[in-house]
Structures are given as structure tokens and as C-alpha cells.
Structure 1
Amino acid sequence: MENDRKKDTIILRVQKTQKEKWKKICQEKKISITSLIVNSVEERMMDDERRKVLSFIEKQDNVFVKIETNINQVAKIVNIQKSISPKNLNDFLERLSEITTLKQEQNKIFENIYALLSK
């Protein structure tokens, strides 16, 4: 089976100012010039953007872990006290409903993000 290593070279002639501009962009984004050119030509997401998206997804997941922990704490308190006031129950159920809606919206956003990442 053929090795997938890069074997071809393309020599690109650009003005020195253009090259310096590209190098500056690459330094800011922490990507290579090759990555910049290939991803631009192929209309793919840049590596730095991919890292930002994955970081965002991780942060979102952490937010929901904290919320789920709070839900478990409320459930534990209710189990210990063996009761919950109707008002507190309604407030809790409203918040739970909001969280469910937000989680569904987040999942739709993630599906779109994953589709972009797969390009």
C-alpha cells in the first residue's frame, strides 16, 4: 500500500510582502503556511479554528456537567428530607425543562460544527 506521506512539491512565487503577510497570519494562528494554503484552497476549516471549536465544545460540556451535578444535589436533598414544596418543585421542573431545551439546541449546533470539522 502506498505511503500517505507528502511527496510532491509545489513552488509558488509570490511577492516578498505577500509572503511576510502570510507568515504573520500563520504565526498568529499557530499554523503552517502549507496548512494555510491547502485549507484555503480546499475551503476547509483552519487548524486554529478547529482547535477553538473543540475548546468551545469542551467548555460547553463542562457547563452541563456542573448543572447535572446541581440537579443531583437537589435530588439528594429531597430524598433526605422526603419532601419538596410545590413551589420549589415547579421551579426545579421549569429549570430542568430549560436545560433540556438548551441541551437539544446545543446538540444541533454541535452536529453542524462536526459537519464543518469533517471537511
Structure 2
Amino acid sequence: MEKKAKSIENKKIDNLKARIFIRLEKSQKSQWKSICRKKNISLTSLIINAVDNRIMDDERRRVLLFIEKQDNIFAKIENNINQVARYVNGQKFISISDVKTFNEKLILLSDLRKQQNEIFERIYSLLANDS
């Protein structure tokens, strides 16, 4: 019974997909496969994304990795801010000029974070529309 269910499921999947055969020179196929190895994507993915004018899977991974790195940078900065706050609390003193400078940097950081988030939202929107 289980084997029959799998067979029916496979037929459903096969009905959703179609094979296309492309004739091209061996050298062209080798070039395409070389590109796929470098980008760590399948030949099918390369062709479909190129035809549909969509972002390649490797480029999508690089964009997401960049976003993650950017977010990690802000996390490190925020950690440093907390360390400064602990240091000041331990001393129970901070000069007015240091407070002013620190607040200016916090405002700048907040503005940069907002800009980054707006850029990320646009990138995510582009990635979602490209899928």
C-alpha cells in the first residue's frame, strides 16, 4: 500500500514538471557547467534564472550573507555601548562633554540603523519579487 502511495505522489510531482532538451555544443555545455561549479548552483537553476531574468541563487546567498554581516556589525557596536554604560556606572561619573559626545554618537548610530533597515527592506522586497 505504501509503495502505491509513493508511486501516485511521484506521478503528481512529475505532472508538475516538464523536461526540455537543448542542443548545444559540448564546449558551451562545459562553459555553463564551469559557471555552475564556480557559483555552486545547478545547470537547471542557471538556465531558468537567466531566462526569467532572476537573481542567481549564489548571488541571493551573498546578499543574505552581507545583510547578516551588517547586522552583526551593529550588534558589536551595541555591545560596545553597553560596555561603556557599565564602565560609567562603575565610576559613577562622566563629564558633560563626554555625555554630549556619547549622545551624538548614539543619535548617529540610530540614524544609520534606520537607514540600514530601510535598505534591507528594499533588498528583501527585491529578493521576494524575484523569486
**TM value normalised by structure 2:** 0.81
**Is the partner of 1:12 in helix, strand or coil?**
coil
1:3 positional shift:
4.8
Q: Which has more helix, going by share of residues? A: 2
* Greater Rg by CA: 2
Residue 20 in 1 paired to residue 38 in 2?
no
Aligned residue number for residue 59 of structure 2: 49
Deviation at 1:4, TM superposition (A): 5.2
Structure 1 unaligned runs (5+)? Answer: none
Q: Is the 8 A contact 1:50 1:117 kept in 2?
A: yes
1:48-74 residue CA offsets vs partner (Å, 9 max, x unmatched) = 001111111111111111111111111
2:4 is matched with: none
Cα pair distance change 1:4/1:80, threshold 3 Å? farther
Name the Cα RMSD after superposition.
1.9
Alignment-derived partner of residue 120 in structure 2: 110
User: Counterpart amino acid of 1:77?
Assistant: Y
Structure 2 residue aligned with 1:68: 78
CA distance in 1: counterparts of 2:13 and 2:124, whole angstroms: 24
Deviation of 1:7 after TM superposition, in Å, equals 2.6
Structure 1 equivalent of residue 93 of structure 2: 83
Identify the range of structure 1 (109-118 vs 21-30) with the bigger mean alpha-carbon deviation.
109-118
Q: Percent identity?
A: 54
Select 2:110's aligned residue among 87, 92, 100.
100
Shift of the 116–3 alpha-carbon distance from structure 1 to 2, 3 Å rule, reads farther
Q: Which residue pairs with 2:50 in the alignment?
A: 40
Structure 2: gaps of 5 or more residues: 1-8
